[in-house]
Structure 1
């Protein structure tokens, strides 16, 4: 965001902002229920809308942050997956599914499908398409099982 735009906005609307902040502090100090948080959100939203920041822009920022976070978690999970591949255990279940697990990553998939459910550090991170990294991880886990069985 442009600093000059915010500076101009603050200079032109300082009185409205001060009044909104005073009302916000009064609401937060006097009202002791969930209503105070609803009122606080309404006041902040009103200021944002008044300042020209639209809910659409806020939604775009939230979506961008969410996408970046998911990509970061996915990247971290794949890195950990490949680092821990030598310790991976492959289990073929009787229902046609398989599980590949390490101390930090777990994959559950159905044999013949192109997706797996991924859990990273105990937290489900969604259904991923099987890519080269995941195939390599599964193959290493399978080879670990065959060397352990001998």
Structure 2
């Protein structure tokens, strides 16, 4: 018996009944379902894995179980470590993950991955991307046109070197 299993005395299961549930009927129904040879419909996730469902290109690039706001992915976490190293050397005075939200238009906002104050006192916004979607590209370019800050696109290059380009 496994951990958390319940043991009931034989007197508790009398005449095929356990409390109000008819055990025998449940067993017969389960056996009938197992004997049925009709195909069982696949749910969306299994269908996608088997190639039977059409998967949107954007969805195929995104991680399963998207992270909520304020939670770093692995690349963002590695870049935060990089910023901490720069902070200990004095090149970065302050930084914060998803610290500010910029309004681009009505009901349209852009939240940069990192707000950074560099040693000169200038505010920069760093966007860490593994893959740039059209929506993200438009938002960062629009924000760069509307706000008087430096916007940088950060990608992890070969050999773990950070490729940082101004937008």
TM range (shorter): under 0.3
Task: Name the structure with the higher helix share.
Answer: 1
Q: Which has the higher contact order (CA 8 A, sep 6+)?
A: 1
TM-score, normalised to structure 1's length?
A: 0.25
